[in-house]
Structure 1
Amino acid sequence: MTKKVLGGKDFDAFIGNSMVHVVEASVKITDGRKAKTVRGIPMGWIDGPVEAELALKLDHENFLLLQAQAQQAGSWKGIEPFDVAFTASVAAGDLNVEAFGCMPQLEELLNIKAEGGEENTFSIKCPITSPDFVHINGVPYLTADEVRNL
């Protein structure tokens, strides 16, 4: 017997409290930990900086939801960083990815083809700005020690 596995159609995406439909989305983490070496031989590890970025591709209708936030803020750069959550549940299991303090930056405002046949999309990148960073199924990526006193 086979189970339905997790796919892109299974996800709901929320920007703040607003549900949006994404054409594409990704959350990428850069973890700066690296191996420490002595005479070229690994001997432990060194903690390094971390960063993460959310990337969204939206259709026109869902882009207008973000535009309403820009109008309320008085400009696109005036939009305060927001939290984004992606949730999905299928027989094979659940996945909940939360990104905190997403600072929206328009990356691709126009993407059209003169012959038509394709919808214009908008690409928005969002560097993660909160020490809450990213949680996967409720488990934080960063350790409590890393975010102490922040």
Structure 2
Amino acid sequence: MDKSKHAPYTVLQKDYDAHIVKDSKSKTTGYAIMEPNDSLNKGHIISVDTPSMIMIKEKGNDLILSEVDPDWHLYEGKDEDQYDDNGNFVGGEGPYSRPWKENESKMHQLRLTLKGEWRLKEKGDNYRIISNDDGKTVLEFDNKDAMPIEIQLAPVKKTYNAAD
């Protein structure tokens, strides 16, 4: 028996780039974004520039958006000790043996583009709207320590249907 036919949710995408699931009853869409994607275009999200976890709940005309960059950004680039002279990954003893494991988490800015023109219902120090015109809104979040950020957005005007 295929249980997915009777599931209380709809799978919008399930591939290498993202897993996206919408629960119609709670009007919530969950996004596990594995790679930056500038043509995601699923539900409310058009694009995101960072692997991330995002949930969007529709509450009347508003959106409650929660996002997190789960990468602590303890180091940048390749860990050269884990590659041979030809650039091939040779592994090692795992991440818990790495010298950078005790580094402080670095702040990383995540950029997210939504369908529609939205405004923030509350201001915050770690998020902002970069633009909200041409039927889309670009948000920026200052992520650190893999801590989630939750915001509430209200429409500037109704310009699209999330099902599109």
Shared topology, TM-score over 0.5?
no
Instruction: State the TM-score bracket (shorter-chain normalisation).
Output: under 0.3
TM-score by length of structure 1 reads 0.22
